[in-house]
Amino acid sequence: MELPGAGVNSNECESVSSKQEMSEEFEANTMDFLVDLPFATIDIKDDSEITDVPKVNLERSKENECNNKEQIKKRKKKRKDYQPNYFLSIPITNKEITKGIKILQNAIIRQDEQLARAMSSDGSFHITLLVMQLLNEDDINVGIDALLELKPFVEEILQGKPLTLPFEGVDTFGNQVGFVKLAEGDHINSLLEIADAAKRTFQEKGILAGESRTFKPHLTFMKLSRLPWLRKKGVKKIDPKLYEKFIGHRFGEEVVHCIDLCSMLKKKQSNGYYHCESSILIGPKPIGIQDLINEALRRERMGLQSKVKEIKALLLKPEIQAKIRRELFEGRFINNSNQGNDVDFSATLT
């Protein structure tokens, strides 16, 4: 029996037969999408139970199906093009921890000097809470707003208590990324809750954020991906023997005082830390006006120091120095010519 609407033009959206040929991948993606919707738990009737389908409803159903397919395609494309370039960072400021990491790095370098450039630089030690994609200034402003909105959620999670992170031991991800581990304790649950709140807050703002893999807080100290040429020399993994003496080493504790929105790509600050767009201060004590002023001044000072360093480096370039000398000479020559012309013009008037 021919269904009503079987004569629909072939240029229209998917026909009933093409719907039956939908790929398993498309179906899986559709169900993933439906799980997030409020009606996901409602039973969906099987098509065989529909006894009468008016033509107008069938056409409307196919049109909605087409729209849903296009939306899913756009989401898949957006996710495929997703390349994080910003992240939420908890900076490591405890000198005891950074000193211990430097000792670890130097111990590894003494055993294999070619791994020196695989090490994370001074001042860049941090824990990544969330990665995201911010493509322009508007996105960055939205990201800053999301970070500010995150603050009360963090305060609710911590309930006035300090978030202290003890670091103990060393491990790797697939023998490719070396990191200092967090010791076990309630602080991990707090950190996971904050990371989850951050992901939710940023995604509700329309920002592509987060990763498919499970969040595992860690403090990276080296990456083999920084040295791809090592594979040609036979170095394909971080040998556990290189850090075996630090397996149970206690590096110290970090009391978290802020969360920063940082760029992966912009030039780092003069102290080695990442370019920071904005921060929120967290901790047990109330943040007063003076605290905010001091933090703002610190950020401003660090930014100015970085700019001065850039200017100095620019002025030391021979081509820049030659250009300055040329422009100064030409400017002096033009001024002298103009002065001469003014005298002659005045003379003709008298």
CB of 163 within 8 A of CB of 94?
no
Confidence band (pLDDT; 50, 70, 90) for 34? very low
CB of 223 within 8 A of CB of 177?
yes
Confidence band (pLDDT; 50, 70, 90) for 190? very high
Q: Which fold has domain 81-284?
A: Cyclic Phosphodiesterase; Chain: A, (3.90.1140)
Which two tokens mark 10? 């072939």
Cβ of 53: how many Cβ atoms within 10 Å?
Answer: 14
**Mean pLDDT in residue range 261-285:** 90
- Where do the structural domains in the chain lie, given as residue ranges? 81-284, 287-324
pLDDT at residue number 50:
33
Cα dihedral sign, 55-57-61-66: positive
In this model, does residue 86 exceed pLDDT 50?
yes
Q: Is the pTM of this model over 0.75?
A: no
C-alpha atoms less than 13 angstroms from C-alpha of 118 in its C-beta half-sphere: 27
Going across the sheet that includes 164-173, the strands are 219-223, 177-182, 164-173, 250-255
For 112, phi then psi, to 5°, come to: -155, 95
pLDDT in tens, 220-261: 999 998 888 888 888 889 999 999 999 999 999 999 999 999
CB of 223 within 8 A of CB of 120?
yes
Confidence band (pLDDT; 50, 70, 90) for 40? very low
pLDDT in tens, 280-308: 998 765 555 655 665 666 666 666 766 77
Please state, rounded to an integer, the average pLDDT across all residues of the chain.
Answer: 76
Between 237 and 40, residue with greater pLDDT = 237
pLDDT in tens, 111-138: 999 999 999 988 999 999 999 999 999 9
Burial of 88 from C-beta contacts in 10 A (0-12 / 13-18 / 19+): buried
